[in-house]
Amino acid sequence: MITIALYITIAMVTLAMLLNVYRLIKGPDAPDRVLALDTLYINAIALIILLGITLGTRMYMESALLIAVMGFVGTVAMAKYLKRGSVIE
Amino acid sequence: MQAFAEYLIAGLLLIGGAFTLIGAIGLARLPDFFARLHAPTKATTLGVGAIMLGSVAYFTVSEGQVHVAEILITVFLFLTAPVSANILAKAAMHIGVARTPETHGNPWDQ
Amino acid sequence: MFARLGFPQPFLSLCLFLVWQLLNDGFSGGSVVMGAILAWMLPQLTRNFWPERPALLKGWLLPLYVLRVLWDIVVASISVARLVLSPRKPRPAFISYPLTLEHPLAITMLASTISLTPGTVSADVSDDQRILLIHALDAEDEQAIIETIRSRYEKPLQEIFL
């Protein structure tokens, strides 16, 4: 039963990522695109965790943690760039 | 594996996937940027949190040993989601992105 | 008592210890020893970077507040999900919320809480830290939202922080 639930969940998260890509392409403003990228990396973390469950390994935990940290830094850097025109003043 | 644990894990995974999907639908169909900001900060964060809890339950039950590293990621996401929402809202107000005409009130000028 | 034992910031030490346990995937002998060393050493090394002590007045109320916020996050997500899936258009609004909290950390916590709970995202703080600008996704009664935030989140935070 877990296997079926796992595949349904993976399909849902993949669909969610496709919708995020739609928003990423459509825009219409730069903050929308940054928001789409932000949601995209959070969904990528979910997908990696689901992959880890599917393969029955905990090897992917570190990469999920790294994506969480790096994604947040990236979002903040891009938002800062939009607001000020430079990342580090 | 016990039936109860299986139901719990499957339920957590499905709830998480559903909330993630709803967050993405909100991001795709809500009318303006500030409305779109709501869906990822709340629905997606909770959805990923539920998936993480499902993973914690799965590995704890299947390996008979406590695994909690996912909770760290969940806590990190819950801490950072409001910060990125706030900084994006500031950037959007600074740029002056379009708002739907139904919006009451105005953001003040910087 | 904690300061004399080499723990200038007991709360930070506790957080470091717990994070190390989480990073190590659960308790084990080695992780407890290493976590204790880190919890002792890092606050010592970074002591000069913390300009003032955090003004926690009643720190033991914090877990209660976190539990309440966690519950509200679940409720908030369900209400946002219903709004996203329902065909009617939301009525967004910008609300100016007059702050009574003064400590910057308390204001940060309130702003984060508002962002994670029903239908509101905190957008900006005025320069004198008196007014919080909130964007509400579906605001029927703006005054009701302000009252809810005040009684449900700001009052407990006021008790916890100095």
Give chain B positions within 8 Å (CB) of C25: 66-69
Q: Distance from first CA to last CA of chain B, Å, rounded?
A: 58
pLDDT value for B110: 44
* Per-residue pLDDT band at B88 (split at 50, 70, 90): confident
Query: Distance between CA atoms of B94 and B96, rounded to whole angstroms?
Result: 5
pLDDT exceeds 60 at position B109: no
Q: How many CB atoms lie within 10 A of CB C153?
A: 20
Higher-confidence position of C125 and C38: C38
**C25 CB contacts (<8 Å, ≥6 apart)?**
A58, A61, B66, B67, B68, B69
Partners of residue B104 on adjacent β-strands? C93
pLDDT value for C4: 61
**Token pair recorded at residue B86:** 């706030």
**Token pair recorded at residue B88:** 């994006």
* Contact between C85 and B25 using a beta-carbon 8 Å cutoff: yes
Query: Distance between CA atoms of B78 and C17, rounded to whole angstroms?
Result: 19
* Contact between A13 and B17 using a beta-carbon 8 Å cutoff: yes
Task: Give the rounded percent of residues in chain C with a pLDDT score beyond 90.
Answer: 1
pLDDT, tens only, C48-76: 777 666 556 666 777 888 888 888 888 88
pLDDT, tens only, B1-34: 688 888 989 999 999 999 999 889 888 888 888 8
**Mean pLDDT highest for which of A58-67, C20-29, C42-51?**
A58-67
Lowest mean pLDDT segment, chosen from A17-31, B37-51, C141-155? C141-155
* Contact between B24 and A1 using a beta-carbon 8 Å cutoff: no
Using a 10 angstrom Cβ sphere, with 0-12 exposed, 13-18 middle and 19 or more buried, the burial of residue A89 is exposed
| B83 lies within 8 A of chain C by CB | yes
* 3-class SS of residue C124: strand
**Domains and their CATH numbers in chain C:** 10-49 (no CATH), 59-160 (3.30.70)
Q: Rounded to 5 degrees, what are φ and ψ at C123?
A: -105, -40
- For chain A, the domains span 2-84
**Token pair recorded at residue C107:** 């204001």
Give chain B positions within 8 Å (CB) of C89: 31, 100, 102
Long-range contacts of A61-70 (CB under 8 A, 24+ apart): A61/B69, A61/B70, A61/B73, A61/C25, A64/B70, A64/B73, A65/B69, A65/B72, A65/B73, A65/B76, A67/A41, A68/A41, A68/B73, A68/B76, A68/B77, A68/B80, A69/B76
**Token pair recorded at residue C145:** 């939202």
Question: Which one of C14, C91, C115 would you mutate to disrupt binding with B, by most B Cβ within 10 Å of its Cβ?
Answer: C115
Shortest distance between the Cα of A60 and any Cα of chain B, in A, equals 11
Q: Rounded to 5 degrees, what are φ and ψ at A76?
A: -65, -40
* Per-residue pLDDT band at C6 (split at 50, 70, 90): low
Window 19-78 of A, Cβ < 8 Å to B: 19-20, 22-23, 28-32, 34-36, 38-39, 42-43, 45-46, 49-50, 52-53, 56, 58, 61, 64-65, 68-69, 72, 75-76
**Token pair recorded at residue A60:** 């992917």
- For chain B, the domains span 3-95
pLDDT value for C55: 59
Partners of residue C94 on adjacent β-strands? C135
